[in-house]
Structure formats: C-alpha cells, structure tokens
Chains A and B, each alone.
Chain A
Amino acid sequence: MKKCLVVDDSSVIRKVARRILEDIGFEVTEAEDGQKALDACIASMPDAVLLDWNMPVMDGLEFLGRLREEHGGDEPVVVFCTTENDVAHITKAIRAGANEYIMKPFDREILSAKFQEVGLV
C-alpha cells in the first residue's frame, strides 16, 4: 500500500484529506508542521506528501527544500495544498520541486484527480 504523509497545521484539513486518501488506497500518516514532517520523512520516506504552505515552526516551502536535499528525498511525490492561489506562489513551489499543486478549498474530485495526475492512483 502506498504511503502518504499529510502535512497541515489544521487537524480538520488533515482529517478530511485522510478520509479521501484512504478511500483511494493510501496508508496515511500526519504531521502538523514542516519540522515534524521532515523528521518523519528522514525516519521513513513516504511515497507522497500532501503539503500545506503556511505552518508554524517550519513552513511548507522550507520543508520541501530540506526534503529534496535529504538522501532519497527526491523520491516522494509532493503535492502542495494551500490557500496561496496566485501564479507567483505556484511558480515558486514548482521551482522548489513540487510535483503538483492544489489550491484550497479542495474536494474529493480535485484531490483524486491530482494524485492521478502524478501517477499515484
């Protein structure tokens, strides 16, 4: 079963994302900020990361940069999932190594479609 790490400081968002991702066949773990997510990845690389941008301690963009520098850190497919919805932010995320980008609010259709897009469903 493919593993997805859901990184978001909102427990509601994590819960909604978990429900959808489990339905489409992922084993889901959660982290509430970038630092905790990085620790989790170093311990065990997931197949995918669903990543919020604005979070306390370490934000999503910094997490992504640090992840890609780790051994094996270029492997996980990273899908940003954030309220930042302008071209500048999207471009920045893609340049930093994000594979896909979701603008909140999202629904089941969007989440499934984006994970299909990156070849994980």
Chain B
Amino acid sequence: MTSEYDFLKKFLKSRSGLVLSDEKQYLVESRLMPVARRHNLNGLSELILAISKPGSMMLQSDVVEAMTTNESFFFRDKSPFENFRKVMLPHLLEARKSRRSARIWCAAASTGQEPYSLSMYLKEDKAKVGGFRFEILGTDISNEVLEKARTGIYSQFEVQRGLPIQMLLKYFSQQGELWQMAPEIRAMVQWRKLNLLENFSHLGEFDIIFCRNVLIYFDQQTKIDVLNRIYRQLPDDGFLVLGAAETVVGLTDSFEPYPDLRGVYRKKQAASRPAGSTNRPERPSAKPSTSRSSIQALAGGSRF
C-alpha cells in the first residue's frame, strides 16, 4: 500500500501540517479503521480512495481528526502551561536567583509547539524574567519533525489549534498560507535528536522536564526505566510534567504528584520517602538550592 500511504501522507500534510513519518505507519490502521467502519467503507484502500474524491468533506475532516488527535499543538491541554507560568516559573525565579539561569527540557518536542509555547510565555513575562537565562532544549526521535520544529513554519491549521489570535499576530509572520515563528522565539530553543530509550545523562540537569504523551507508547518496563533516568536529570526541587493521561503511580516510588498541580510531579519528599534511599531530597523552598547534585557538576562543561 505504498502509493496509498504516500497519498495519505501528502493529504495529511496539506490538510493539517501533520508529518506522518514512516515510523508512524502503525498509527494509520489503528486510527483510520474505525473511521472507515463509521463511513461504511471496506478497509483502508477504500477509505483513501474515498477521500481523494470531491465532495468528501465530512470524511476528510474525520480522517484528519483521527490522525491528529495525539499531535502536538500550541498550549496543548492548557493547564501544563498555566502551571508553568503560575507556579514553576515563579519558583525558579526565586530559587535560582543567584544563578539567574534555568534549564527546561521538552523530551518529546515533536514539531516544536510545546517548547515554543513555553518561549512565548517567557516573552510575555519578560518584565519578570528579564536578566534570567532560560535554556530550552527540544528533543525528538524523528529528524523529520525536528527539521520542521527548527524552521518554525506551521500551516494555517496548526496555528489555529490552541494559539490565541493575539499571539499569532504578535509572534508569527505570514508567508502565503503558512506562518513562521518569530526569530526571537526560535532563538530561545535548541533542538537535538534523541531516542528516550538510549542514554541521555550527557544532556545534564534540567529544572523542568516536560515528557508528555510519549510514555503511553512504551511498555511498563520501559516506562519505569525512562522515569528512573529522568529522575537523575532533575534537581531535588525540579518539576516533571507528564501528559494528561499519564501518571507515575504504579511505576515508581521516587516521584510523587505535586500538590494541586495536575500532571506535575516532583521527587518524593523526605517525610514520605522510603528508607534506604541515597539521594537526599530537599523541599522546594524559597531559598536558592544549596546542594546541586553531582550531575550538575559533570554537566557544567557540556552546556550547549
């Protein structure tokens, strides 16, 4: 079904900006078979033939919807970004005020909307953030999506999902039917190809790690392994942000939910920590962190 797959790829790219990389081929069947059944079509070939015909607007929009459900969009789910702005950012501005810098990692950055959303909020809050250096790193397994993230060029569909119109006017420039993220926002994010299954200790320590909607694709043991390795990249008062449908519960005891912040986790605090642990946590406090972990020291020379 190669030529059909190519047609579908082009269709989705033009309709939604979705880059259907070859490693996502498995998604096509699971997402589109239900759509085919709903429209009384016999299998994927019939479905793809049907969307190529004029007058199939409803079907086309159902196909795009089914395929983009888990795609990245600006300010996706809203609350992680509100939590960033209202809780995590003020905490870091206080706790890192002597160092005047902080690092954020978006571990499944896809086409870049998540790190760019954070960058736009940092720009919006520049009066408070001024003089502070934020490093934002976006990583993804796919070169194809990273290339798109780097250019910061989005389709009309993509800039309308989750992005307020005022922010579109403020932070994008129009290029025909496409919109490009402003250079000053693009300059705030660095990109790197990374497979979360492989070692990532060389990236150094991060004050906030966004790892949203990627663990769901892993099996239990892999989830545990990734979470344990993420733990080692966080300082004691660091934040881990997972997707809306994800949790650490049942996977690891080293994290606990951050009080009153849905989807946000922190290292387990002293009182409730199981015995035998070597990594001494300290409470997130208003004071600058005094004991940086050894990873920070190791990473000191390898900032990028």
Contact = CB atoms under 8 A, between A and B. Distances in A.
Nearest to A110: B160
A91 B169 contact: yes
A90 interface: yes
Interface in B62-85: 64-65, 68, 73, 78
Given A107-B64, A108-B65, A113 B161 contact: yes
Contacts of B166: 94
Contact of B165 (A101, A107, A116): A101
Contacts of A101: 165
Main secondary structure of the interface of A (DSSP, over half): helix
Range of interface residues on B (Cβ < 8 Å)? 20 to 34
Nearest to A20: B61
Main secondary structure of the interface of B (DSSP, over half): helix
A91 B168 CA distance: 11
Contact of B174 (A87, A106, A109): A87
Contacts of A110: 157, 160-161
B164 A117 contact: yes
Top 3 A-B pairs ranked by shortest CB distance?
A: A101-B165, A110-B160, A107-B61
Interface of A: 16, 85-87, 90-91, 94, 100-103, 106-110, 113-114, 116-117
Given A101-B165, A109-B161, A110-B160, 9 more contacts: A87-B169, A90-B169, A91-B169, A103-B160, A107-B157, A109-B65, A113-B73, A114-B160, A117-B162
7 contacts: A16-B57, A90-B169, A94-B165, A101-B165, A106-B160, A109-B73, A113-B161
